[in-house]
Amino acid sequence: MPNKNQLLRYLIIDELLRNRQRKFPSKEHIIETIQERTGLAYSASAFEKDLKIMREQFGAPIEFHNLERGYFYGYKQKNKKGGMRYEMDNEYRFMSISLSQKDLVALNFAESVLQGFKHSQIFEDFADAINKVLDAVEVGKQLKDSPRKMQDFIQPENATYPKGRKWLGDILWAIKNYKQIHFAYKKFTQTEAEERILHPYLLKEFKGRWYVIGYYPEKERIATFALDRIQSLKISDFSVLYPEKLGFEPESFYQNCFGITRLQEEQVEHIVLSFSPFVGYYLKSKPLHQTQKILVDNEQEFRISVELIINPDLISELLSYGRNLKVLAPERLRQIIREELEKNLNNYQEN
């Protein structure tokens, strides 16, 4: 089983070989990319060793294209005239050889998570996602020769994946290369799609859905669009307005935000929440937000504070706790929750 550093290199090699915008990456380009992404030294001999392992242990059909002077997924063989015939393999999926189709439930989720972070320079950002992949690979190895089904051993959450995930690769490429994107966008409330132009800066996942955030010139502001509502997309030749000129910082834009709804003019508020002690166990193992601070933890209540903007995503999350939560501050949030609960109660009033 590969360690985290090895797996990260394999994933980068796999990404480069499947890049539709830059086919047939050279050895030098792959080595340079791996060194940049991992921050570690990487030699030509280590590269050849990685290719050997990917071919032998993962069945990767990696070949060198003599004319293009680069690597690809596919096959090559001499023809009758002594020349070389090349055939691309567009069906190969890295690591799928070790897992059955049913096992790929967990791996597909891990892949979607990795898509959002694989361009980061900081290896630690990959930790959780890589652990998911490693777990999936280990499950596949253990069940590979077993006559019993995966469900007899393990039942991962059967998440559904919105169709918008297919746009991830193109949008990531546009962000990396500072290019605008044009797309047809259809809101749930609309009958016809409308054309949009966006200067993309950031991709973000929330509750299984992917969103692209960027400068929306039609409204002259930062806007968010859901990928599952994009019907067609193309990358423009025009460059984006650099985010620095707008004061947009991807690293901090969602720092004090729960969910995806974020407007630049919104203010961060000090929020105090009182939960039941039982819910407290869950919030200690998985905090509501990274700004969470424990104020009270006893047999009567579990009280925390968070520094967040008040948005619909946060309100929806707080309402999900029902009677196990009481909002203590600020008063504005208390009033919002109270009004929403009253509306909910009215749904159960007899006519």
* pTM of the full structure: 0.58
Residue 261 falls within a domain, yes or no?
A: no
My answer on whether 222 and 184 are in the same domain is yes
- Report how far residue 200's alpha carbon sits from residue 236's, in angstroms, rounded to the nearest whole number: 11
Q: What is the DSSP letter of 298?
A: S
pLDDT in tens, 144-186: 555 555 556 555 555 555 677 788 888 989 998 999 999 999 9
Residue type, 211: Y
- Residue 250 is predicted with a pLDDT of 86
Question: Which pLDDT score is estimated for 103?
Answer: 41
* 35: in domain: yes
Q: How far is CA 328 from the centre of its chain?
A: 34
Q: Which of 102, 121, 152 is the last residue of a domain?
A: 152
201 and 333 in a single domain? The answer is: no
Top pLDDT among 227 and 5 is at 227
Mean pLDDT for 60-75 is: 91
Residue 124 in domain: yes
Encode pLDDT of 316-333 as tens digits: 999 999 999 999 999 999
172 in helix, strand or coil? helix
* pLDDT at residue number 153: 57
d(CA 344, CA 234): 43
Same domain for 21 and 78: yes
Residues 201 and 322 both lie in one domain: no
**Claim to verify: residue 62 and residue 186 sit in the same structural domain:** no
H or E element that contains 89:
none
- The predicted model gives 204-216 an average pLDDT of 90
Domain of 54, in residue numbers? 4-152
pLDDT band of residue 97 (cuts 50, 70, 90) is: very low
The residue from 96, 120, 152 where one domain ends is: 152
Average pLDDT in the chain: 82
Q: Which residues lie closer than 8 Å to 282 by C-beta, 6 or more apart? A: none
Q: Are residues 11 and 148 in the same domain?
A: yes
User: CA nearest 286: which of 307, 304, 263?
Assistant: 304
Backbone angles phi, psi at 29, to 5 degrees: -65, -40
Average pLDDT over residues 269-273: 97
Are 25 and 117 within one domain?
yes
Q: What is the dihedral of CA 10, 12, 13, 17, to 10 degrees?
A: 140
pLDDT in tens, 211-246: 999 999 999 999 999 999 999 999 999 999 998 888
Number of domains in the chain: 3
Q: Which of 102-116, 204-218, 244-258, 262-276 has the lowest mean pLDDT?
A: 102-116
Would you state the pLDDT for residue 52? Answer: 92
Structural domain contains residue 259: no
Examine the pLDDT at 138 and tell me if it is beyond 80: no
- What is d(CA 56, CA 152) in angstroms, rounded to the nearest whole number? 29
**Are 143 and 183 in the same domain?**
no
State which of 152, 177, 202 marks the end of a domain. 152
Asked, for residue 160, whether it belongs to a domain, the answer is no
Sign of the CA dihedral running 43, 65, 73, 76? negative
Percent of the chain with pLDDT over 70: 79
Q: Are residues 132 and 192 in the same domain?
A: no
Residue 22 has pLDDT above 60, yes or no: yes
pLDDT at 144: 52
Do the domain assignments include residue 162? no
Q: How confident is the model at residue 140 (pLDDT cuts 50, 70, 90)?
A: low
pLDDT-based confidence at residue 289 (cuts at 50, 70, 90): very high
Report the CATH number at residue 209: 2.30.30
Does some domain include residue 13?
Answer: yes
CATH number of the domain where residue 328 is located: 3.30.70
In a domain, 222, yes or no: yes
Helix (H, G, I), strand (E, B) or coil at 88: strand
Residues 9 and 128 in one domain: yes
Q: Is the dihedral of CA 25, 31, 33, 34 positive or negative?
A: positive
Residues 89 and 207 in one domain: no
The pLDDT score that the predictor gives to residue 281 is 93
Confidence of residue 122 (pLDDT cuts 50, 70, 90): very low
One domain, residues 306 and 200: no
According to the model, what pLDDT value does residue 350 have? 72
